[in-house]
Structure 1
Amino acid sequence: MELAVIGFVGQKFILVGIIFAISLVVAMYSTYAERKVAAFFQDRVGPNRAGPFGILQPLADGAKMFMKEEIIPTRSNPFLFIVGPSLAILTACIGSAVIPWGQQITIGSVVMDLQVTDINVGVLYIFGVVSLGVYGVMIGGWASNNKYSLLGAIRAASQNISYEIAMGLSIIALLMITGTLSLKEITEQQHGFWKDGYFSWNFFKQPLGFLLFIVCAFAETNRTPFDLPECETELVGGYHTEYSSMKLGFYLFAEYINMFVSSAVMSTLYFGGYNYPFMDLASSSFGANIAALIGVAVLFGKIIFFIFFFMWVRWTIPRFRYDQLMDLGWKILIPLAIANIVLTGIGSTILTHFGY
């Protein structure tokens, strides 16, 4: 029994380490990808000096962050000044704990779950972590003792609170269909791509819900056109104006890790997660382990697409004014999300009545 417990805990520690490393690598190379995507849209080359095609640029940027002078403003709160970016990166990293990355893999007599933990309130866990993330921004902005930082922090807090409501309402409609808060069960309900004569992925059942969710995801991750908390034309650098060295790096990394986790959550909730067409055929032809690894690759393919979409929008759509951002959240997204819940309830009642 003790050996089984030790083996189980060891598996989880290994999985946590792998996911943590992947999150950091994805965040690191998202900075490179963003600059390359921007260069493509602006008809220029982008980073091309550090290594072939500039592939080592993120390593050079990381070394620069570590070697920069550590500056803590004299009139700041030193303790909270350090806590802010630490909390931001912590909440960004723990959000991936409930995401199912693939089906089970069997190695000899050992069965490995490619999910750190499958809790029955996984969706609520994600929302709880997202809600905590804004505290890192608020604490950092207030502790800096800088008016621009404080304004950026206040913007971030009000923006996150406003768009979390619409995001939560969009998820309620999805939960009315799935009947569970477990991300694992939601993924398994989307098995394959076509099931019992209809598309199994939730995107085809909740297109409006997905549209609302992805717009709110842009606001929650402070990405353009909702990057008002760090609007450089008005607030210098926003909540991280006073930060330097790796404290600034933590805030920048947290944004890209949040983008990675948001993409994984959208892929899981609406696009089948690790599911793909003909996965049963792949399992019978190549074995369960190979089919599971293909599923992991498929999930990461979906995540990479959404990360690219985040970048595409950034370099295509201009930033909103702050009043426009709040109007969109309260006057358009929330009413649409409520209407989506009502329509989902009516549609479910009609389908149940006719035996579907």
Structure 2
Amino acid sequence: MFSFLSFLIPWGVIFVNILIAIPFLTLLERKVIGYIQSRKGPNKVSYLGLLQPIADGGKLIFKELGTPNLANILLFWLSPILSFLLMVLGWSLFPSYFNNYFVSLGIVLFLCIASLQVYTLLGSGWGSNSKYALLGSVRGAAQTISYEVALIIVIFLPCCLNSSYSFIDYLYKDYLYVFILGPIVVIWLVSSLAETNRAPFDFAEGESELVSGFNIEYSAFEFACLFLSEYGNILLMSFLTAILFFSSGNGIYIVVGSIFTFSFLWIRSALPRFRYDLLMHLAWKVFLPVSLFYIFLVALI
């Protein structure tokens, strides 16, 4: 019984922390975008708008659920929930000083989980049976697959240097791979933006031309699942960046991960959306050759 609780409690802590962190990340994002655009952002609900995420969450929970008449019910309902569960499963692999279990091939399992997110994206658009949703999901899936290729190659570089596929081994390193793999870190960060469908690569949710993209038919609980999944993945990719490429000793990765999380918000408010052809050109003709070159370079070393 004790061993079962010791295994279950870290999962519960992860789940609760995600549910607490994501709403206030959205508040921070709206505040950052507001100040960059010379406006205050949310400031009416409670002091300085601190309870705005709770108000938004209550609205999503109690709002009436709606399902399009021609939608594929199974895909329409399953895809958002699966997207959220995959995000939580990815977080369960995150190393912690308090966990007493770890996966020896955690990085490989993380890549498998990340690759499954594209199916939830396609399922959400296809299950809605809407042309706008389908177009957004197809564009988003093509983008995600393109950048996953470079992402997979890049993540194996620190694995080669550290001779380990377990995240727990990176938690105790005191050296920085960012100086050895400088351009690779840039590729990782840009690919993380594309993987999470964030600006300037938010083609899956191109509001101006796709009317909100693949999630146009979603509301209430279903939309909340997609929303939590996206922002949970932003936090996950930010802190994985800190652990893989920067020093993890003395909890430094918490500070570095927070900085990268802020960079996601700053980039969204500072950069316009890229053209789709330039996005694909960047993935296949720049990132892929550079990452393959670094693989051969590290292999020779």
Q: TM-score range by the shorter chain?
A: over 0.9
Matched, 1:184 2:168: yes
Following TM superposition, by how much is the alpha carbon of 1:205 offset from its aligned partner in structure 2, in angstroms?
2.3
Following TM superposition, by how much is the alpha carbon of 1:206 offset from its aligned partner in structure 2, in angstroms?
1.6
Equivalent residue, structure 1, for 2:119: 135
Task: Kindly provide the CA deviation profile for residues 93-148 of structure 1, in whole angstroms up to 9, marking residues without a partner as x.
Answer: 1101221123xxxxxxxxxxx23641111111111111111211111110100011
Written as runs of structure 1 = structure 2, the 5 A alignment for 1:13-52 is 13-52=8-47
Segments of 4+ in structure 1 off by > 3 A? none
Matched, 1:207 2:202: no
Q: Are 2:239 and 2:258, in contact at CA under 8 Å, matched by a contact in 1?
A: no
> Residue 159 of structure 2: which of 175, 195, 215 is its match?
175
Distance 1:124 1:317 in 2: 32
SS in 1 for 2:171: helix
Which amino acid letter does the alignment assign opposite residue 121 of structure 2? Answer: V
> Residue 285 of structure 2: which of 331, 335, 339 is its match?
331
Q: How many residues end up aligned between the 2 structures?
A: 301
Q: Are 2:176 and 2:245, in contact at CA under 8 Å, matched by a contact in 1?
A: yes
Equivalent residue, structure 2, for 1:283: none
Which amino acid letter does the alignment assign opposite residue 89 of structure 1? Answer: F
Matched, 1:344 2:298: yes
Q: Are 1:122 and 1:182, in contact at CA under 8 Å, matched by a contact in 2?
A: yes
Task: Kindly provide the CA deviation profile for residues 298-338 of structure 1, in whole angstroms up to 9, marking residues without a partner as x.
Answer: 43332221110100111111111111111110011101111
Normalising by structure 2, what TM-score?
0.96
Following TM superposition, by how much is the alpha carbon of 1:67 offset from its aligned partner in structure 2, in angstroms?
2.0
Distance 2:142 2:214 in 1: 13
Distance 1:62 1:116 in 2: 33
Equivalent residue, structure 2, for 1:314: 268
Distance 2:205 2:272 in 1: 14
Following TM superposition, by how much is the alpha carbon of 1:344 offset from its aligned partner in structure 2, in angstroms?
2.4
Matched, 1:271 2:266: no
Normalising by structure 1, what TM-score?
0.82
Task: Kindly provide the CA deviation profile for residues 24-57 of structure 1, in whole angstroms up to 9, marking residues without a partner as x.
Answer: 1111111101000001111111101111110000
Which amino acid letter does the alignment assign opposite residue 48 of structure 1? Answer: N
Equivalent residue, structure 2, for 1:279: none
Which amino acid letter does the alignment assign opposite residue 17 of structure 1? Answer: G
Equivalent residue, structure 1, for 2:257: 303
SS in 2 for 1:202: coil
Q: In structure 2, list runs of 5 or more residues that go unmatched.
A: none
Matched, 1:119 2:103: yes
Following TM superposition, by how much is the alpha carbon of 1:17 offset from its aligned partner in structure 2, in angstroms?
0.7
Q: Are 1:144 and 1:242, in contact at CA under 8 Å, matched by a contact in 2?
A: yes
SS in 1 for 2:64: coil
